[in-house]
Amino acid sequence: MPIIHLKVSGAEDTVLAKELAVIISGLTKEILHKKPEVTVVTVDFIPTHLWFINSESLSELNAASFHLTIKISDSTNLKDDKSRYIDAVHKALAERLGTIHPVSYTAIEEMKADAYGYDGLTIEYKLISNKIKL
């Protein structure tokens, strides 16, 4: 279901990447009610001298930043869920990464259920199949 891509400023750190994946997966389960067993998290590290906000590098700004993109099935969460998720991600990453620049983004992309899936099947097909089995 959810595919999460997290870009974090700084040097590559596999221990930190694992910690962030655990944090993000937990928030995704708790707030967006997504199943952990089908949640994918990828983490990329971008050197601070190559991350720019208003043409200034994070090195110059002496700050960290992140950009998280999550793809979920369309219309499976309320606006309030999504708002709480964005807030919780920001707070959790600020707590773990230290001083983060306010221009650190979380983007929730809602994918149409008939154009998104895993295991070779669309989410729409999985939803319909599960309802028929009831």
pLDDT tens digits, residue range 90-118? 999 999 999 999 999 999 999 999 998 88
- pLDDT value, residue 134: 38
pTM higher than the cut 0.95: no
pLDDT tens digits, residue range 35-86? 999 999 999 999 999 999 999 999 999 999 999 999 999 989 999 999 999 9
Owner of token pair 């994946």: 21
Which pLDDT band, with edges at 50, 70 and 90, does 133 fall under?
low
Helix (H, G, I), strand (E, B) or coil at 72: strand
Q: Using an 8 Å Cβ cutoff, are 28 and 39 in contact? A: yes
Tokens linked to 60: 């110059």
- pLDDT value, residue 132: 58
Identity at 22, one-letter amino acid code: V
Show the beta-strand stretches assigned E in the chain: 3-9, 40-46, 52-53, 56-57, 66-73, 105-111, 117-118, 121-122
The hierarchical CATH code for the domain 3-133 is 3.30.429.10
Extents of the domains making up the chain? 3-133
